[in-house]
Structures are given as structure tokens and as C-alpha cells.
Chains A and B, each alone.
Chain A
Amino acid sequence: MNPALNVGSAPVATPWFFYGLAAAAVISGLLVITRRNAVHSALALIVTLLSVAGLYLMLYAPFVAGVQIIVYAGGIMVLFLFVIMLVSIERTVKERQFNRIWPIGLLASCALLALFLTAFKKGQSLFPNRVAPLPEALNTQGIAAALYGEAGKMGQYTFAFEIASLLLLVAILGAVIMTKKKI
């Protein structure tokens, strides 16, 4: 019996995995925004990204989990660490960490959190717990069909895929030109 097709018979350890990964994600998220040293923040963000990749695996999305680990944790965070090592001077570790209007920012964010929780409480009937429409083994093929397929059949996002590659080209050109010493 495929456990993906019947939520009632999910494996016993599933809540433990979920609460463990969720706690890891939220605690390292907290560490990202409160550490004095930027390298500590970057390492905490890597832990957050890996926990979120674990949550994607629990949601039966293995391809997005793989892309998250390879691109986000393995590419973007390495870029961040390079730039931190280029621009971080020892003086910044001793300076003030939070700006002068931090109570207002904190208050606004708590109001946002209250808004989210109100929306969740009121809309609770709209979140039924259906199961994955595709079994997990066909997830990558399904995403490939959506991204690379013909426009008429299953490829609804082929054009968006091409535009995304154009976006990456423009971003690379911009980053290279902006960091040159003499243009």
C-alpha cells in the first residue's frame, strides 16, 4: 500500500520529522536575524535552507528539494559568504547591530504575524489535506513536462522558462559590470 495515497496511514514518525524540521528552520531563522557576526548569520541561513528542503521532501516534492539544496544552499549562500569575506571589516562586529527605529519594525512585524494567524484561523476550512495528485516517482517527469513540453500539450511554462534564462543572463551581465573597477 503506497503511503502517499492514504494520509490516514502516514508513517508513525511523520509528526516528529515535521516538528523537528520546523523547529530547526524557525530557530535558525531567528539566529540569522540576531547574530552579530555576518558569517554566523550565513551559516544559520544554510541550516534554515536545509531544513526547508527537508520540509519539501515531506511534501512529496523531491525535485524542488534537490534544486533548493544545489542552487540555494550550494550556490547562493556560497556567493553570500564570498561577499561577506570581501566587505566585512572587523569594525562592523563592534558597532551597533539594530537601527534606531527597531521597536517600530518589531511592532509592525508582530502586527503582520497577527494578521497571518487571523487569516489562518478564519480560512481553516479552505485548507483540506488532500494528497499528492502524482505519485512521488513521477514528480520530476511532471515538472519536466510542464517546463519543457510543447505549448499545446502539457508545457504551460515553456515560455516562462525561456524568459527565466534571459533573466539570468541579464543578472550575470549586470553583476559582472557593476563589480568591475573601470567600466
Chain B
Amino acid sequence: MVPITTLHYLVVAAALFVLGTIGVLTRRNVVIVLMSIELILNAVNLNLVAFSRMWGLGGQVFAIFIIVDAAAEAAVGLGILIAFFRNKETINVDEIDLLKW
């Protein structure tokens, strides 16, 4: 069989990225939109670690920082969601339009 090259990992990362983008753009449930953002971050991480096999440890360190950043972002995003849910009992992105004209 064909040996597994870096390109194979990049294609998997691109597929995960596109799936996450579809989730962000098409779902109405805010929690699932946030989970799609986590999919996008994982795709980027896979890309970085795949390239770090060629270019040294910098990619893996960057991936660790991105995981740290994803944790912080998930905490803050879910905090915003809970605070909003307390005001208006909905988790549809279509109905979060208090600032709409």
C-alpha cells in the first residue's frame, strides 16, 4: 500500500475543518455551534502536529497552546451561553437578536 505521508494527515485535517465550518454555518443550537468550533481547532492542531514531524517541536508546542486557548474559549463561551439562557429561555442562534435593528 501507499506509505502514509504528511499529505494524508493534511487531508484528514481539511475534512475536519470543513465539517466544523458546516456545523458553525448551518446549525441553530448554540452548543453544537461551539462544539463545531472545537472541531475546527482540532483540525488546526492536527495540521500543526503533522508538520511538526518535519520541522521540529515548534508545531507541537503551538498545538499545546491552542489546546489551552480552546479550554479558555470554551469556558467563556459557555459562560456567556448560560448568562444569556438565564434571560431568555432559548438556545437558538436565530433568537439571539437583542441588538438587531
Taking CB atoms and an 8 Å cut-off, the chain B residues in 47-101 that contact chain A are: 49-50, 52-54, 56-58, 60-61, 63-65, 67-76, 78-83, 85-86, 89, 91-94
> What are the residues of chain B within 8 A of A137 when measuring CB–CB?
none
Query: B-side binding surface: helix, strand, loop or mixed?
Result: helix
Interface size on B, residues (CB 8 A): 73
- Please report the number of residue pairs spanning A and B whose Cβ atoms sit closer than 8 angstroms: 243
Cβ contacts B18-41/A at 8 Å (1 or 0 each): 111111011111011011101100
On whether A32 and B32 interact (CB within 8 A), knowing A75-B71, A109-B18, the answer reads yes
For B45, give its contact among A42, A52, A120, A168 (CB under 8 Å): A52
Q: Are A29 and B14 in contact (CB under 8 A)?
A: no
- Is the C-beta of A151 less than 8 angstroms from some C-beta in chain B? no
For A29, give its contact among B39, B49, B71 (CB under 8 Å): B39
Q: Are B72 and A106 in contact (CB under 8 A)?
A: no
Taken together as a complex, chains A and B put the C-alpha atoms of A84 and B65 apart, in Å, by 26
Q: Are B16 and A26 in contact (CB under 8 A)?
A: yes
Q: Are B57 and A143 in contact (CB under 8 A)?
A: yes
> What are the residues of chain B within 8 A of A32 when measuring CB–CB?
19, 23, 32, 35-36, 39
Taking CB atoms and an 8 Å cut-off, the chain A residues in 16-67 that contact chain B are: 18, 22, 25-26, 29-30, 32-33, 35, 38, 41-42, 45, 48-49, 52, 55-56, 58-61, 63-64, 67
Q: Are B25 and A80 in contact (CB under 8 A)?
A: no
Taken together as a complex, chains A and B put the C-alpha atoms of A80 and B69 apart, in Å, by 15
Taking CB atoms and an 8 Å cut-off, the chain A residues in 72-125 that contact chain B are: 72, 75-76, 79-80, 83-84, 86-89, 92, 95-99, 102, 104-106, 108-110, 112-113, 116-117, 120, 124
Quick one: closest B residue to A124, CB to CB? Answer: B7
Query: A-side binding surface: helix, strand, loop or mixed?
Result: helix
A33 to chain B, nearest CB (A): 4
Q: Are A132 and B53 in contact (CB under 8 A)?
A: yes
Q: Are A105 and B22 in contact (CB under 8 A)?
A: yes
Q: Are B46 and A127 in contact (CB under 8 A)?
A: no
B81 to chain A, nearest CB (A): 7
Q: Are B27 and A15 in contact (CB under 8 A)?
A: no
Q: Are B16 and A60 in contact (CB under 8 A)?
A: no
Interface size on A, residues (CB 8 A): 90
> What are the residues of chain A within 8 A of B6 when measuring CB–CB?
127-129
Most B CB atoms within 10 A — which of A33, A48, A58, A71?
Answer: A33
> What are the residues of chain A within 8 A of B72 when measuring CB–CB?
167-168, 170-171
Q: Are A164 and B65 in contact (CB under 8 A)?
A: yes
Query: Can you pick out 10 interface pairs between chain A and chain B where the beta carbons lie within 8 Å of each other?
Result: A10-B4, A30-B19, A32-B32, A48-B16, A55-B12, A89-B89, A106-B22, A127-B7, A129-B5, A147-B64
